[in-house]
Copies of this chain bind each other. A is one copy, B any other.
Amino acid sequence: MQRHFDAELKTLKEKILRMGAMVEEQVAYAIKALVERDLDLARRVIENDHRVNALDVEVDEDCLRLIALHQPMAGDLRFLTTAMKISTELERMSDLAENISERAVELNEEPQLKPYIDIPRMAEHAQRMVKESLDAFVNRNSELARKVCRDDDFIDDLNHQIFRELLSFMIEDPQTTTRAIRISFISKYLERIADHATNIAELVVYLVEGKIIRHTGL
């Protein structure tokens, strides 16, 4: 029974990693669609969101089934309820990748305001945070999880910097306002994706160390 449970746990971890890879891809493609003004790619990201949603439901059902069937001890039970929460975080990230693509579609209808430099940097950073938060989860590595929490500051700073730059565009030339606001939304979506990765990382620290680090700093 325990061996069977361990095998199922392994499958579950793989599914969550697969879901994470899918989210990373959604974010990467959304940004590629923005930068390369690729309307088809933006639409594909929007269409593919349902695949992540489907995996979210699957992970949920898997966890419920494992709890009901194996009645796991405290540690494994907490691992499974954490997995359910993580899956929700990933699903929300995919929604945000969809939002990025929606703004990319809108931005495509007007001339480009400026070359994108910080946004792709921010996206790469956020993607890495997603990957590392999930690696931290499946390996119960709270040190890596704490690194993810610290990395979030960089994203917040970048978001503020991008916002200030766009604000100066708007104030100098009000004709740029609509486009600048759309870009600022994209920056904000990326910041929120990083926040979700941080949520996962905080869940991992709690899972492994029993410490609540949410809102308390590290």
Contact = CB atoms under 8 A, between A and B. Distances in A.
Main DSSP-derived SS at the A contact region: helix
Contact of A81 (B49, B64, B172, B212): B64
Interface string A73-114: 110011001001100100000000000000000000000000
A181 B167 CA distance: 9
> Which 7 pairs across A and B sit closest by C-beta, in order of nearness?
A171-B174, A71-B71, A170-B177, A174-B174, A171-B177, A68-B77, A68-B74
A74 B60 CA distance: 13
Nearest to A175: B171
Copies of this chain, tallied across the complex: 2
Nearest to A172: B174
A178 interface: yes
Nearest to A65: B74
A7 interface: no
Q: Which of A50, A88, A177 has the most CB of B within 10 A?
A: A177
A173 to B, nearest CB: 8
